[in-house]
Chain A
Amino acid sequence: MEVKKTKEGSVTILQPIGRIDSNTATDLENALLNLLENQENKIVINLDSVDYISSAGLRIFLMAGKKLKTLDGSFVLANMNEHIKEVFDISGFTPIFNIAPDNASAIKEITANG
Chain B
Amino acid sequence: MSRQLSVSIRNKHSEIQKIWEEFESFAKENQMANDIRRNTQIALDEIISNTIEYGYEKYSDDKIKVNFLIDQTNLVIEIIDNAKHYNILERDDPDISKSIEEKPIGGLGVHLVKSLMNEVKYDCINGKNHLTLIKQLN
**B2-10, B35-43, B77-85 - the one binding chain A:** B35-43
A65 surroundings in chain B (CB, below 8 A): 100
| Cβ of A104 to closest chain B Cβ, rounded Å | 25
Main secondary structure of the interface of B (DSSP, over half): helix
| Cβ of A77 to closest chain B Cβ, rounded Å | 13
Contact of B100 among A21, A53, A87, A96 (CB under 8 A): A96
Q: Quick one: which of B7-60 are within 8 Å of A by CB?
A: 13-14, 16-17, 34-35, 38-39, 41-42, 45-46, 48-49
| Cβ of A45 to closest chain B Cβ, rounded Å | 15
Contact of A22 among B16, B38, B100, B112 (CB under 8 A): B16
Contact of A62 among B103, B115, B116 (CB under 8 A): B103
B45 surroundings in chain A (CB, below 8 A): 21-23, 54, 56
- Please tell me if the beta carbons of B98 and A22 are within 8 angstroms of each other in the complex: no
Residue-wise interface mask of A (49-78) relative to B, using a CB-CB cutoff of 8 A (1 in contact, 0 not): 001111110110011011001000000000
Interface flag for B137 (CB, 8 Å): no
Nearest residue, chain A, Cβ from B15: A23
Interface flag for A91 (CB, 8 Å): yes
**Are A92 and B98 also in contact (CB < 8 A) when A58-B108, A62-B103 are?**
yes
Residue-wise interface mask of A (28-51) relative to B, using a CB-CB cutoff of 8 A (1 in contact, 0 not): 000000000000000000000001
- Please, how many residues of chain B have a CB less than 8 angstroms from a CB on the other chain? 29
- Please tell me if the beta carbons of A23 and B17 are within 8 angstroms of each other in the complex: yes
A-B contact pairs, 22 of them (CB 8 A): A21-B16, A21-B41, A21-B42, A22-B13, A22-B16, A22-B45, A22-B48, A52-B38, A55-B46, A55-B106, A58-B108, A62-B103, A63-B105, A66-B100, A69-B101, A83-B39, A87-B42, A90-B112, A91-B108, A92-B97, A92-B98, A96-B103
Residue positions of B touching A, CB distance < 8 A: 13-14, 16-17, 34-35, 38-39, 41-42, 45-46, 48-49, 96-101, 103, 105-106, 108-109, 111-112, 115-116
Residue positions of A touching B, CB distance < 8 A: 19, 21-23, 51-56, 58-59, 62-63, 65-66, 69, 82-83, 87, 90-92, 96-97
